[in-house]
């Protein structure tokens, strides 16, 4: 039976239009999708057990955006946009600059879990250590100058990186090798709980800690890389 939600497609491939209770028909799907039952979700909060930071405790939704409309997104550059027809948030031009998009301030969002599905297509030639990245930003206080955490993948150097950005300063909190290839859809999960963070992309998981930001919003960031994100969900982790 078909998945009821496009979010369950993370286990397979879903780059196209979201489900409407039937199998995917989007143009970018390359394999069989939605052929099985939804993944196990013991607490029925929408986060599959194998991704859920609290598999037996409900994590209430804060945001669920499949990028079917522009919504409230704020972009730092016209290079990042929501492609409503494809149902993705995307940067489709390689530029040696930071590109950011977010939903505006969320001063009350402290502990939460972000789920997304991202695909990095190409990276440029900038030798800046911060370049070649795409991923989510979290605990966002502001975007210009940057004050946030990043959970991203660097396809220049092949690694998943958790970092804290404050202005032009960037502190890598944790990183690990990734063998992900360009053009591959990757599940992304980010957990912020007090001062501890877990960033997992394409099955590569890193953990780090920082006291720089204790609450804030969410968004996406890229730097000298083209990418697409199929959707974003944010779930609260209750005290």
Helix %, strand %, coil % of the chain (to 5): 5, 45, 55
Q: In terms of CB distance, is 61 or 158 closer to Ca ion? A: 61
Instruction: Answer yes or no whether residue 41 interacts with Ca ion by CB under 5 A.
Output: yes
Q: Among 19, 34, 45, 233, which residue sits at the site for Ca ion (rule: CB under 5 A)?
A: 45
Instruction: Answer yes or no whether residue 3 interacts with Ca ion by CB under 5 A.
Output: no
* C-alpha 228: how far from chain center: 10
Q: In terms of CB distance, is 27 or 40 closer to Ca ion? A: 40
- Assess contact for 199 and 114: CB atoms under 8 A: no
Q: In terms of CB distance, is 41 or 128 closer to Ca ion? A: 41
**Residue 28 CB-density burial (10 A; 0-12 exposed, 13-18 middle, 19+ buried):** middle
How is residue 166 written in tokens?
A: 């404050």
The Cα 67–Cα 115 span in angstroms is 14
Size of the site for Ca ion (CB under 5 A): 7
Q: List the one residue out of 162, 232, 225 whose CA is nearest residue 192.
A: 162
Residues in 59-78 that interact with Ca ion by CB under 5 A: 59
Q: In terms of CB distance, is 167 or 239 closer to Ca ion? A: 239
Rounded to a whole number of angstroms, the minimum distance from the CB of residue 105 to Ca ion is 26
Q: List the one residue out of 193, 101, 125, 116 whose CA is nearest residue 153.
A: 116
Q: Among 18, 38, 39, 43, which residue sits at the site for Ca ion (rule: CB under 5 A)?
A: 43
List the helix and strand counts (H, then E) for the chain: 0, 15
Q: Among 47, 186, 201, 206, which residue sits at the site for Ca ion (rule: CB under 5 A)?
A: 47
Q: In terms of CB distance, is 54 or 121 closer to Ca ion? A: 54
**Measured in Å, how far apart are the chain's first and last C-alpha atoms?**
36
Q: In terms of CB distance, is 19 or 236 closer to Ca ion? A: 236
Which listed range, 10-18, 57-65, 80-88, 124-132, lies at the site for Ca ion (CB under 5 A)? 57-65
Which listed range, 35-43, 116-124, 178-186, 220-228, lies at the site for Ca ion (CB under 5 A)? 35-43
Q: Among 23, 28, 39, 54, which residue sits at the site for Ca ion (rule: CB under 5 A)?
A: 54
Q: Pairing relation of β-strands 133-142 and 225-236?
A: unpaired
HSE-CB at 76 with a 13 A cutoff on CA atoms is 16
Instruction: Answer yes or no whether residue 191 interacts with Ca ion by CB under 5 A.
Output: no
Q: In terms of CB distance, is 59 or 178 closer to Ca ion? A: 59
The Cα 101–Cα 145 span in angstroms is 13
Q: How many residues would you count in the chain?
A: 239
| Binding site residues, Ca ion, CB under 5 A | 41, 43, 45, 47, 52, 54, 59
């Amino acid at each position: 039976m078909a998945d009821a939600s496009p979010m369950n497609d993370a286990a397979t491939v879903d780059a196209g239009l979201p489900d409407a209770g039937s199998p995917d028909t989007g143009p970018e799907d390359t394999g069989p999708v939605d052929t099985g039952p939804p993944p196990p979700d013991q607490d029925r909060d929408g986060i599959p057990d194998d991704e859920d930071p609290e598999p037996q405790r409900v994590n209430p939704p804060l945001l669920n955006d499949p990028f079917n409309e522009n919504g409230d997104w704020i972009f730092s550059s016209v290079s990042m946009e929501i492609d409503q027809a494809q149902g993705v948030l995307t940067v489709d031009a390689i530029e040696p600059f930071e590109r950011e998009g977010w939903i505006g301030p969320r001063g009350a969002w402290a502990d939460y879990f972000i789920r997304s599905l991202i695909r990095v297509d190409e990276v440029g030639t900038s030798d800046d250590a911060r370049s070649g990245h795409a991923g989510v930003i979290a605990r966002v206080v502001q975007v210009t100058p940057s004050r946030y955490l990043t959970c991203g993948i660097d396809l220049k150097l092949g690694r998943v990186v958790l970092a804290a950005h404050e202005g032009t300063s960037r502190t890598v909190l944790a990183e690990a090798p990734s063998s992900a290839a360009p053009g591959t859809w990757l599940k992304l999960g980010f957990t912020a709980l007090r001062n501890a963070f877990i960033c997992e992309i394409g099955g590569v998981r890193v953990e780090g800690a920082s006291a720089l930001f204790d609450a804030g919003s969410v968004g996406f960031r890229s730097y000298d890389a083209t990418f697409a994100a199929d959707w974003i969900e944010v779930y609260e982790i209750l005290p």
